[in-house]
Amino acid sequence: MSSLPFKITNLFSDLAEAHGLINIEGDFLRMEFQTQDAILGLLKSQLKEIKIPIQELNGAIYQKKLFGTKIILRANKLSTLSRVPGHEKGQVILEISRKDRDQAEQLVSSLDMKITEMNLRRLDKELDDLEGRV
């Protein structure tokens, strides 16, 4: 799957925003982003890359509205998204441009499918372990 461009706004009291790419690589969600000032876009941070284990995600929500599209990533614990700018209460909101809506919907669908597969594998392993004890 190709990388999906995203933006995270409302950083540092609306003085900064992050721009980046997100994609699924195996059992990880890879985010690459750069934070910059929201006024002129001249002050930029170094490029950062974060790999989030998909098994640590609780899910992704795709929100398509009239004036924007958002993906809300939810984690199982607060520390999972702690390195992502704008994280709050174990979740982060990624803003997606209108032209990338189809790709965003596809990413969320693929991510939810991977999360479900991992949960089924984990439950299957736990069931095998229980049967082995009996």
Interatomic CA distance for residues 71 and 129, integer angstroms: 36
Higher-confidence residue of 12 and 73: namely 73
Kindly tell me if the per-residue pLDDT of 65 is higher than 70: yes
pLDDT confidence bin for 70, thresholds 50/70/90: very high
Interatomic CA distance for residues 61 and 32, integer angstroms: 20
pTM of the predicted model as reported, rounded to 2 decimal places: 0.86
Which residue type, as a one-letter code, is found at position 50? Answer: I
Spatial CB neighbours of 60, under 8 Å, sequence gap ≥ 6? 71, 72, 73, 74, 107, 108, 111, 112
What's the confidence (pLDDT) of residue 85? 93
In this prediction, residues 94-110 reach a mean pLDDT of: 94
What's the confidence (pLDDT) of residue 134? 64
CATH fold for domain 4-133: PH-domain like (2.30.29)
Per residue in 9-56, pLDDT (tens digit) is 988 887 889 999 999 999 999 999 999 887 777 778 899 999 999 999
Extract the tokens encoding 49.
């890359």
In this prediction, residues 108-119 reach a mean pLDDT of: 93
- Give the three-class secondary structure for 36: strand
Alpha helices in 1-134 (DSSP H): 101-133
What's the confidence (pLDDT) of residue 1? 63
pLDDT confidence bin for 95, thresholds 50/70/90: very high
Instruction: For 93, list phi and psi in degrees, rounded to 5.
Output: -110, 120
